[in-house]
């Protein structure tokens, strides 16, 4: 998708895999079975966590900086 | 003398070109078409007792019929080995060759074919049979025949089969025990010394190399952007009407969401076999956060949400298939005027 000209952020838990296969924008998810949720949280808190992940990943779409949010959440240019 | 049953397509079997691609399977005693090129290098070891010729489209679209025909010939001729192709980089022919070999192996008959490295059938069948590395087109037949015939003779005479590199076949994903004079630590140190001394060395375990993708031009204004959601979490409509697979997916589905505000429990489920889907089935937005995108759309954070979910199962999916599916999805999203994508993986 990036090659086709559409910025795409990969929300995943095992971010090194995503980096190994060459993804350009990667955002760390909550957990493998629930990347954008957390069944251990209350409904409200779960939605807050989801918002955090989704808006964080969306922010990567607007950025060309090498690092947007620390190590795992980043746009990779090398 | 060992017996070989040969398989080829309408073109190499000299039935005709693309216009004959629907020709039904037929068998000829002895060698026919490209089978003739294998006769001489196999002699002394094996005889090609019969040649099966089948149209590429026919086999690809009627695989069960093709297999049944092949099984009949195997029962009739009792070959020690089936040699199929080589199919070079031909898609349909490659799949037919792979499937013919797999069918023969299932009946306890040894089988080999020859394919170009990018032929999708390599990925599909390399675990089922020996696939020798051959050129891209029929121009490579001069190299392919001695390679395949030589390997066939080894297999037929029970000679020891070397490594994929030595024999030029695609690694079958099998681990083979063997004795080495030096232990692993010694070999690793030897390799390291060779490396620092600039001498040639060879790894014992090749790590796949992947392409790094350059980020494309970022979105200037999220509040005007159309965002699409994709997932490899195997999220499908409840009941899985399209038979999305639990692993090694080769296709993706584009599910229209209309004016839905979220993925409702009971209407969607995950068929992915690589994680426990209980939490995803309770709330599918935990894997595909469509609800949050709709909220952010309402709040004006993003311009709009593409009302579709592009979904597949990312479980042992090959890089080649994933790349192809990504290209297909990208084309669809470009046509829909999508400006950015969130892709979730489990």
> Looking at the DSSP assignment, which residues form a beta bridge with residue B341?
A8, B228
Crossing angle for the helix pair B63-77 and B91-106, nearest 10 degrees? 50
Q: Are residues B242 and B297 in the same domain?
A: yes
Q: Stretch B74-95: mean pLDDT, rounded?
A: 94
Q: How far apart are CA B27 and CA B15, in angstroms?
A: 12
> A69 to chain B, minimum CA–CA distance in Å?
16
| Position B215 in a domain | no
The answer to whether B234 and B315 are in contact (CB under 8 A) is: yes
The CATH number of whichever domain residue B142 belongs to comes to 3.40.50.2300
Domains of chain A by residue range: 9-75
| Position B212 in a domain | no
Q: Are residues B67 and B183 in the same domain?
A: no
| Position B172 in a domain | no
What does DSSP assign to residue B224?
Answer: G
Q: Are residues B335 and B235 in the same domain?
A: yes
ipTM value for the complex: 0.91
- Which residues of chain A have a CB within 8 Å of the CB of B277? 33
Domain span at B196: 177-207
Residue with tokens 């204004």: B221
| Position B214 in a domain | no
C-alpha dist (Å) from residue B121 to B64, B99, B101, B170: 17, 9, 11, 11
Q: Are residues B162 and B185 in the same domain?
A: no
> B280 to chain A, minimum CA–CA distance in Å?
6
Q: Which residue has the higher pLDDT, B270 or B177?
A: B270
Q: Are residues B201 and B160 in the same domain?
A: no
Q: Are residues B160 and B14 in the same domain?
A: yes
Find, among B327, B231, B146, the residue nearest to A11 by Cα. Answer: B231
| pLDDT tens-digit map of B165-189 | 999 999 988 888 888 899 999 999 9
Total of domains in chain B: 3
Q: Are residues B246 and B181 in the same domain?
A: no
Under an 8 A CB cutoff, do A21 and B341 touch? no
What does DSSP assign to residue B161?
Answer: P
| Position B41 in a domain | yes
| pLDDT tens-digit map of B187-197 | 999 999 999 99
Which tokens hold the place of B147?
């390679």
Which tokens hold the place of B332?
């669809």
pLDDT at A76: 67
Q: Are residues B273 and B158 in the same domain?
A: no
Interface size between A and B, measured as CB pairs under 8 A = 161
| Position B229 in a domain | yes
Best residue in B224, B289, B336 for a mutation probing chain A (most A CBs within 10 Å): B289
Give the angle subtended at the CA of B181 by the CAs of B177 and B183, to the nearest 5°: 75
Alpha helix segments (H runs only) across chain B: 35-42, 56-61, 63-77, 91-106, 120-125, 141-157, 164-167, 184-196, 278-282, 290-298, 319-335
C-alpha dist (Å) from residue B190 to A26, A68, B177, B184: 38, 42, 21, 10
Provide CB contacts within 8 A for B172, sequence distance 6+: B126, B127, B130, B164
pLDDT at A72: 53
Best residue in A5, A7, A32, A67 for a mutation probing chain B (most B CBs within 10 Å): A7
Q: Are residues B148 and B285 in the same domain?
A: no
From the list B218, B293, B327, which residue is nearest A63 (CB)? Answer: B218
């Amino acid at each position: 998708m990036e090659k086709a000209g559409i910025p795409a952020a990969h929300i995943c838990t095992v971010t090194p895999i995503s980096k190994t296969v060459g993804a350009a924008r990667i955002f760390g998810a909550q957990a493998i079975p629930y990347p954008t949720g957390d069944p251990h949280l209350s409904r409200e808190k779960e939605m807050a966590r989801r918002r955090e992940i989704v808006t964080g990943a969306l922010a990567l779409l607007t950025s060309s900086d090498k690092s947007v949010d620390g190590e795992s959440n980043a746009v990779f240019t090398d | 003398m060992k017996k070989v049953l040969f398989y080829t397509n309408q073109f190499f079997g000299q039935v005709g070109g693309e216009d004959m691609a629907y020709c039904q399977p037929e068998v000829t005693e002895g060698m026919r078409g490209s089978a003739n090129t294998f006769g001489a290098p196999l002699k002394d070891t094996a005889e090609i007792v019969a040649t099966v010729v089948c149209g590429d489209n026919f086999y690809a679209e009627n695989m069960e019929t093709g297999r049944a025909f092949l099984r009949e010939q195997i029962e009739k001729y009792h070959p020690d080995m089936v040699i199929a192709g080589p199919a070079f980089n031909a898609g349909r022919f490659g799949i037919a060759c792979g499937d013919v070999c797999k069918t023969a192996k299932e009946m306890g008959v040894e089988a080999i074919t020859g394919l170009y490295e990018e032929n999708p059938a390599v990925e599909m069948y390399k675990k089922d049979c020996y696939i020798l590395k051959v050129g891209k087109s029929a121009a490579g037949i001069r190299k392919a025949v001695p390679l395949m015939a030589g390997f066939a003779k080894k297999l037929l005479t029970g000679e020891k089969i070397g490594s994929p590199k030595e024999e030029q076949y695609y690694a079958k994903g099998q681990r083979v025990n063997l004795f080495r004079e030096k232990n692993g630590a010694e070999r690793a140190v030897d390799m390291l010394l060779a490396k620092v001394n600039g001498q040639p060395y060879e790894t014992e375990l090749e790590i796949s190399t992947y392409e790094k993708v350059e980020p494309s031009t970022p979105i200037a204004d999220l509040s005007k952007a159309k965002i699409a959601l994709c997932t490899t979490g195997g999220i499908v409509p409840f009941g899985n009407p399209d038979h999305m697979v639990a692993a090694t997916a080769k296709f993706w589905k584009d599910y229209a969401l209309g004016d839905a505000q979220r993925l409702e429990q009971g209407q969607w489920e995950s068929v992915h076999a690589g994680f426990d889907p209980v939490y995803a089935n309770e709330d599918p937005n935990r894997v595909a956060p469509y609800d949050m995108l709709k909220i952010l759309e309402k709040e004006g954070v993003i311009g709009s949400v593409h009302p579709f979910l592009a979904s597949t199962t990312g479980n042992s999916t090959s890089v080649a298939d994933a790349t192809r599916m990504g290209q297909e999805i990208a084309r669809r999203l470009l046509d829909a005027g999508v400006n950015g994508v969130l892709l979730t993986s489990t």
